[in-house]
Amino acid sequence: MGETKLTSIAELGEFGLIDHLTKDIKLTQKSTVTGVGDDAAVLNYSNEKYTLLSNDLLIEGVHFDMSYTPLMHLGYKSAIVNFSDMAAMNGIPLQIVVGLGISSKYTLEALDEFYAGIKKACDRYHVDFVGGDTSSSLHGLFISVTVTGEVAKDKITYRKGAKPGDILCVTGDLGGAYIGLLLLEREKKVFQANPDMQPEMAGKEYILERQLKPEARIDMVEKLNEKGVVPTAMMDISDGLASEALHIAKSSGTGVAIYEERIPIDQNTFDTAREFKLIPSLAALNGGEDYELLFTIAQKDYEKIKEIPGISVIGYMTEEAEGNRLITPDNQSVELKAQGWDALKK
Amino acid sequence: MGETKLTSIAELGEFGLIDHLTKDIKLTQKSTVTGVGDDAAVLNYSNEKYTLLSNDLLIEGVHFDMSYTPLMHLGYKSAIVNFSDMAAMNGIPLQIVVGLGISSKYTLEALDEFYAGIKKACDRYHVDFVGGDTSSSLHGLFISVTVTGEVAKDKITYRKGAKPGDILCVTGDLGGAYIGLLLLEREKKVFQANPDMQPEMAGKEYILERQLKPEARIDMVEKLNEKGVVPTAMMDISDGLASEALHIAKSSGTGVAIYEERIPIDQNTFDTAREFKLIPSLAALNGGEDYELLFTIAQKDYEKIKEIPGISVIGYMTEEAEGNRLITPDNQSVELKAQGWDALKK
Say yes or no for a CB contact (<8 Å) between A112 and B140: no
Residue A3 resides in a domain: no
Residue A341 resides in a domain: no
Residue B123 resides in a domain: yes
Same domain assignment for residues A179 and A320: yes
Residues of chain B contacting A41 with CB distance shorter than 8 Å? 95, 97, 130-131
Q: Nearest by CB to B45, which of A20, A51, A119?
A: A51
Residue B7 resides in a domain: no
At which of A126, A155, A184 does a domain end? A155
Same domain assignment for residues B37 and B111: yes
The interface predicted TM-score (ipTM) is: 0.91
CA distance A10 to chain B (A): 8
Same domain assignment for residues B312 and B204: yes
Say yes or no for a CB contact (<8 Å) between A102 and B9: yes
The 3-class secondary structure across A150-179, one letter per residue, is EEEHHHCCCCCCCCCCCEEEEECCCCHHHH
Same domain assignment for residues B316 and B173: yes
Cβ of residue B267 closer than 8 Å to a chain A Cβ: no
Residues 56-75 on A with a CB inside 8 Å of B are 56-57, 59-63
Same domain assignment for residues B66 and B104: yes
Q: Nearest by CB to B14, which of A20, A61, A134?
A: A134
- CATH of residue A148's domain is 3.30.1330.10
At which of A155, A181, A216 does a domain end? A155
Residues of chain B contacting A48 with CB distance shorter than 8 Å? none
Say yes or no for a CB contact (<8 Å) between B344 and A129: no
CA distance B65 to chain A (A): 12
In chain A, the number of structural domains is: 2
Say yes or no for a CB contact (<8 Å) between A55 and B146: yes
Mutation to test the A interface, candidates B28, B84, B136, B147, most A Cβ within 10 Å: B136
Decide if A220 contacts A312 (C-beta within 8 A).
no
Same domain assignment for residues B215 and B298: yes
**Mean pLDDT along residues B182-206:** 85
> From A41, which residue of chain B is nearest by alpha-carbon distance?
B130
Residues of chain A contacting B56 with CB distance shorter than 8 Å? 99, 133
Same domain assignment for residues A175 and A296: yes
Say yes or no for a CB contact (<8 Å) between A46 and B43: no
pLDDT surpasses 80 at B323: yes
Quote the domain boundaries for residue A123: 9-155
Residue ranges in chain A whose pLDDT is less than 50: 1-2, 341-346
pLDDT in tens, B33-42: 999 989 999 9
Measure Cα distances from A29 to A11, A45, A211, A235, B75 in Å.
Answer: 34, 11, 39, 26, 20
- DSSP per-residue codes, A178-199: HHHHHHHHHHHHHHHH-TTSPP
> From A130, which residue of chain B is nearest by alpha-carbon distance?
B35
Q: Nearest by CB to A109, which of B7, B25, B131?
A: B7
**Helix, strand, coil share (%) of chain A residues, nearest 5:** 40, 25, 35
Same domain assignment for residues A138 and A172: no
Residues of chain B contacting A135 with CB distance shorter than 8 Å? 14, 57, 59, 62-63, 343-344
pLDDT in tens, B49-60: 999 999 999 999
Say yes or no for a CB contact (<8 Å) between B6 and A107: yes
Q: Does the CA dihedral B76-B79-B81-B85 come out positive or negative?
A: negative
pTM: 0.93
pLDDT at B340: 55
Say yes or no for a CB contact (<8 Å) between A95 and B40: no
Torsion angle of C-alpha atoms B70, B71, B76, B77, degrees rounded to 10: 70
Residue A98 resides in a domain: yes
Q: How far is CA B277 from the centre of its chain?
A: 25
pLDDT at A4: 58
Residue A345 resides in a domain: no
What residues does A147 pair with on adjacent strands? Answer: A54, A96
Same domain assignment for residues B147 and B182: no
Classify A40 in phi/psi space as left (phi over 0), alpha (psi -120 to 50) or beta: beta
Residues 154-173 on B with a CB inside 8 Å of A are none
Same domain assignment for residues A135 and A256: no
Q: Is A31 helix (H, G, I), strand (E, B) or coil?
A: coil
Rounded CA gap, B192 and B187, in Å? 8
> From B42, which residue of chain A is nearest by alpha-carbon distance?
A130
Decide if A268 contacts A176 (C-beta within 8 A).
yes
pLDDT in tens, A157-182: 999 999 999 999 999 999 999 999 99
Say yes or no for a CB contact (<8 Å) between B9 and A346: no
- CATH of residue A203's domain is 3.90.650.10
Residue B342 resides in a domain: no
Same domain assignment for residues B147 and B241: no
Same domain assignment for residues B256 and B322: yes
> From B5, which residue of chain A is nearest by alpha-carbon distance?
A109
Which of A271-280, B146-155, B200-209 has the least mean pLDDT? Answer: B200-209
Which of A86-95, A181-190, B149-158, B209-218 has the least mean pLDDT? Answer: A181-190
pLDDT at A107: 87
pLDDT surpasses 50 at B296: yes
Rounded CA gap, A81 and B140, in Å? 24
pLDDT at A346: 38
Decide if B60 contacts B142 (C-beta within 8 A).
yes
Say yes or no for a CB contact (<8 Å) between B47 and A51: no
Mean pLDDT estimate for chain B: 92
Higher pLDDT, residue B109 or B336: B336
pLDDT at B114: 94
pLDDT in tens, B303-321: 999 999 999 999 999 999 9
> From A92, which residue of chain B is nearest by alpha-carbon distance?
B29
Residue B13 resides in a domain: no
At which of B129, B155, B181 does a domain end? B155
pLDDT at A3: 54
pLDDT surpasses 50 at B343: no
Q: How many CB atoms lie within 10 A of CB A180?
A: 26
